[in-house]
Amino acid sequence: MVPIKHPTTIPQPQPLNSIAQMIINYWKIYKMVSLMSLETENEFLKQSTKVITNQLQINDVKT
């Protein structure tokens, strides 16, 4: 089996609680910056879901 060459900037896996904390912090900032309409709130939720999914995939690759 040929070892896979990884780029040097591999995103490091994070424990789920730190991912959750990151999203909570992001949410607080986002709330402060804008008084959200329903549309932007939905957009935010889509984006944060992508962040979680990406991080979980990184974690899966690492384990």
- Where exactly are the structural domains of the chain? 35-63
Q: How far apart are the C-alpha atoms of 28 and 33, rounded to whole Å?
A: 9
The pLDDT of residue 57 is: 82
CB atoms within 10 A of CB 24: 11
Has residue 7 got a pLDDT over 60? no
Identify the pLDDT of residue 27: 79
Residue 30: the pLDDT is 74
pTM for the full model? 0.35
pLDDT tens figures, 15-63: 777 878 888 888 787 776 666 566 777 787 888 888 888 888 877 776 5
Look at residue 47 in the predicted model and tell me its pLDDT.
Answer: 83
